Amino acid sequence: MSTRPAWWAIVTGGLVVIGLVLSPIWLKEISGYIEPEEEEAPFPEAYYELPDTAREIYDAMYQDEPQMAIDFVAARLAEQVDVEDPNLPVIEEANNPGTVSHVLTGSFVTLDPTRGASGEANIFILPDQRRLIRLENLEAVGGPDLRVLLTAHPAPQTLEDLTQPDIAGLQLDLGPLGGVLGNQNYEAEILFNTNNFQDGSVVLFSERYNIVFSYASLSLVETPE
């Protein structure tokens, strides 16, 4: 007795079932139950040595803004530049005792596992009346196109903080960050009024993405009695 017709019936039935499952009508019905696989971020090996808390943020960022995540990780993993600018306040004070004024100081903070810095920001008035902003013992998380800003806002964490109408006019761009490590000097105009910033801050800001990476809230330096 031949079983060929029975096998053909099974094969034909299977093809019909597959066709029904793959038809646009059924796919539309079951699509809500199918979870698409998340695209794996194309990060280098060194990425997986970062803290888990940082990688979680970068991975989530990659799902929404892949290029931004790639740029953030690339900047963080880039070779760290250690800057050692001359300590002008000490040099000037040695040459002209009593002529250097240390007026404002503050410490950098960490905002989250992907944005932060440690070290101090200090503002001096030199003998020739130049205003010097000196970052000392800086150790910052790298970011895309970081710049150093001086703002009247005491603790800015967003672009909105920096663009508030009452402080937007009291902001100076001191230039690109020289490096994520070390001691660095930035000069402001002689007409720069330190009184406008005695409750302000020095900010590390990603110009490319308009994101604050850290800030150092400033306060008056206590002079010894």
3-state secondary structure of 215: strand
| C-alpha angle 39-40-43 in degrees, rounded to nearest 5 | 140
pLDDT tens for 111-155 read: 999 999 999 999 999 998 889 999 999 999 999 999 999 999 999
**What confidence tens digit (pLDDT) does each residue in 65-108 have?**
999 999 999 999 999 989 999 999 999 999 888 899 999 999 99
Domain boundaries in the chain? 42-78, 82-220
Residues in the chain: 225
pTM value?
A: 0.81
Average pLDDT rounded to a whole number, residues 4-11: 53
List, in sequence order, every residue forming a beta bridge with 146; answer none if it has no partner: 206
Residue 48: pLDDT band (50, 70, 90) is very high
pLDDT, one tens digit per residue, over 163-205 is: 998 887 889 999 999 999 999 999 987 778 888 899 999 999 9
For residues 219 and 22, the model is more confident at 219
182 contacts 82 by C-beta, under 8 angstroms: yes
Residues 6+ apart with CB under 8 A from 201: 106, 121, 150, 151, 153, 154, 155, 156, 215, 216, 217, 218
Record: fold of 82-220:
Immunoglobulin-like (2.60.40)
Grade residue 110 by pLDDT with cuts at 50, 70 and 90: very high
pLDDT, position 16: 46
